[in-house]
Amino acid sequence: MARRHKKSFFERLTGSVSVGNDDYDQESHDDYEEFDDGFTDEPDEIYETEDWTAQESQQENFEDEGELAVDVYETTEHIIVQAMVAGVRPDHLDVSITREMCTISGRREAPQDAANDDYLNRELYWGSFSRSVVLPAEVEVEESQAKEDHGLLTIKMPKINKDQQTKLEVQVG
């Protein structure tokens, strides 16, 4: 099976393309290939099995997905998550929250202005992205709000007030 270049975390995050390392000396690394202990230092390497095409497809989907950069901060009453989503159509953006986690996912479509061969430099990320953030406190899911303004997505989630008490009147029945 032909070996593909595994994209680095930075390449997946930014969408940049590695042009290779001209200083890499293959002969000095050939000695290490003689010893095969059955393990690999590349955890995502795919072995040929009956369903290797399905495994390869899953790996490509994972590698093609970028990780969205976020800021998370809290006030006394809210947890706020912010992310830059400029260029993402609203119907390609999905925000889902639970009491403990916020997940933002979407897809940024690349413009078709130029052919791939015409690019001199490619640093912008185009394609699918997602980010899940474990929240530092539980939030009220139903009262949370998401707003996009000039490419900045702001998700404002009210914290659950665990100290809140209410007095119930006991009814005789």
Residues 6+ apart with CB under 8 A from 108: 85, 87, 88, 92, 125, 126, 127, 129
Question: Percentage of the chain with pLDDT > 90?
Answer: 38
Q: Quick check: is 49 in a domain? A: no
Q: How many CB atoms lie within 10 A of CB 67?
A: 13
Q: Quick check: is 90 in a domain? A: yes
**By mean pLDDT, which of 24-33, 56-65, 103-112, 151-160 is the weakest?**
24-33
Q: Quick check: is 86 in a domain? A: yes
Q: Quick check: is 63 in a domain? A: no
Q: Quick check: is 172 in a domain? A: no
Look over the chain and give the mean of its residue pLDDT values, rounded to a whole number. Answer: 76
Indicate whether 137 pLDDT > 50: yes
Indicate whether 62 pLDDT > 80: no
Strands 66-67 and 127-134: parallel
State the total domains in the chain: 1
Indicate whether 83 pLDDT > 70: yes
Chain-centre distance for alpha carbon 26: 33
Q: Quick check: is 57 in a domain? A: no
Q: What is the pTM for the complete model shown?
A: 0.58
Express each pLDDT in 11-39 by its tens digit. 666 666 555 554 444 544 444 445 455 55
Question: Percentage of the chain with pLDDT > 70?
Answer: 63
Average pLDDT over residues 71-94: 93
pLDDT at 24: 47
Q: What residues are paired with 145 via a beta bridge? A: 156
The domain of 139 spans 68-158
Q: Quick check: is 146 in a domain? A: yes
Q: Quick check: is 96 in a domain? A: yes
CATH number at residue 86: 2.60.40.790
Three-state SS at 120: coil
pLDDT at 6: 62
